[in-house]
Structure 1
Amino acid sequence: MGRLLPTLLLILAGVLVGGTWSLFRQGASRATVVTAGLLAALAAAGGVLWLLPGEG
């Protein structure tokens, strides 16, 4: 289970990137596109940081 959550976060990041691109192509408001992009970046960062070796 140790690798499940980061994998799910990275999958979520990919879905959000695709959604962000779709919103951009459809002419959504800038705030909506930026919000979706920030959520994608947070999910990707969380997934990568979770995989980094730490104490314990």
Structure 2
Amino acid sequence: MGPVSTDVTVIVLFALAGFLLGGVYSTWKTSRKVSIVLAVLAALAVAGGIAWWVGS
């Protein structure tokens, strides 16, 4: 197995962000602090995906 393609990395980061946003949606009413942490992590995943995409 060779190195992972840049496109695959970007897609994985966007998928991770979507998964985290689903967690934000499902935990918002029960635990706001956890939801905020998940939202920050989702924003970081999106920013990382965009940076990786633009940098390639």
User: Residue 8 of structure 2 aligns with which residue?
Assistant: 4
Task: Provide the alpha-carbon RMSD of the alignment.
Answer: 1.3
Shift of 1:53: 3.9
Q: Give the whole-Å Cα distance in 1 for the aligned partners of 2:55 and 2:9.
A: 15
User: Residue 22 of structure 2 aligns with which residue?
Assistant: 18
Q: Give the whole-Å Cα distance in 2 for the aligned partners of 1:42 and 1:53.
A: 16
Q: Which runs of 5+ in 1 are unaligned?
A: none
Q: Which runs of 5+ in 2 are unaligned?
A: none
Between Structure 1 and Structure 2, how many residues are aligned?
52
Shift of 1:31: 1.4
- TM-score after normalising by structure 1: 0.81
Kindly, what percent of the aligned residue pairs are identical?
Answer: 37
- TM-score after normalising by structure 2: 0.81
